[in-house]
Chain A
Amino acid sequence: MSKTVTLAHGAGGRQTSELIHEVFAAHFANPLFTADDAAVLEVEAGRLAMSTDGFIVSPYEFPGGNVGKLSICGTVNDLACMGAEPLYLTCAFVIEEGFPMDKLEEIAAAMEKTAAEAGVRIVAGDTKVAGKGQVDGVFITTTGIGRIKEGVRTGGALARPGDAVIVTGDVGRHGCTILLARNEYGIEADVDSDCAPLWGAVDSVLSAADDVHVIRDATRGGVGTVLYEIAEQSNVGVRINAESVPVDGAVRGVCGMLGLEPLYLACEGRLVIIAPGEEADKIVEVLRQGKYTAGAAVIGEITDELPGKVVMTTEIGAETLLPQPGGELLPRIC
């Protein structure tokens, strides 16, 4: 096969079939991966969750993962947030002409590995090739279906005063990793993306706790954005303790140099979990035994004050609003 992806690979002919067989089918092989127009699936009766997401990241590989791993984690985690065990996934690729074939292989391999870990099967796919410059490297869209665990009902509108606010690990590492990987600011730090599939963690929390109200994946916009979304959807106040928010030292250093706030940096493997206060210790304890959630911590609580707002208790014991996130994340220097 050629060393780069060409427009012919997207033309539907022999090269397309070669690309699909040698790269995708080779990695995604499972009895359900279809060669037909659609995959045919058996599903047990019950409630299903379904989600779709597009993945564009520059650079497409970074410490701790690549766009392939990200495309599986993102959708698997979205399903997990609804209490759904991920079952099936489809993926659509838009590949830039000239993209190196070996890199495409690496991306497919990462997808296979992550899907296997998350227990999800890739059942259908699509490949398009766009002309040079029309896309940046490779864009992947994944769509997933999951089976919601019996008796589980989670949602952004279900937070109640008295609930505890938990994060499953240190915040902002993915965003910081990407910022560094772009190498625009000449800063180096030993930071890996937190990108990880989290169904296992969610499953263990749902098994251990009697009641969980909200689980949300803190991706774009970071934990700060998620807290505002929940405050608004549930019409409650959120109070967090600034000093309880776990932040990796190097992430803090990078943020310090560039005047950024870690609470607004993206995560790809961090959940915000909101559950009745009396469940908090149990949940944190279970999470701390998990592979990707050892840094879990309670960072605050849900209140009935200032609905829709996030209030922060600061290191001098004063209260202030957490600024509403928004706009392009730009370094503040002068």
Chain B
Amino acid sequence: MIPLQHFLFISAILFCLGLFAVITRKNAIQILMGIELMINASILNLVAFSRFDKVDNTGQMFALFIIVLAAAAVAVALVIIMNLYKRVKSIDPNQSDTLRG
């Protein structure tokens, strides 16, 4: 049986990759992909925890929820990106800095 630490390592690596993508990418789609990676890392965590905790499968339940929510979030995010593109003719998030203080 694979120990929990391995799962956590994999998930941490995945999270860090996602985080790196979110911080560094110049493309909103790629940032979205980074976010998906981070979400999946956390799902992996939850699934791994639920494997070592078999009382009432809470981890799996949360994983399913998060998947659904992530799907919905991606849909919304894509729409936002499309609207953003319509407004500034670019999907580089650095281009749209109207909130700058």
Q: Do A and B bind each other?
A: no
Residues of B at the A interface (CB closer than 8 Å) are none
Residues of A at the B interface (CB closer than 8 Å) are none
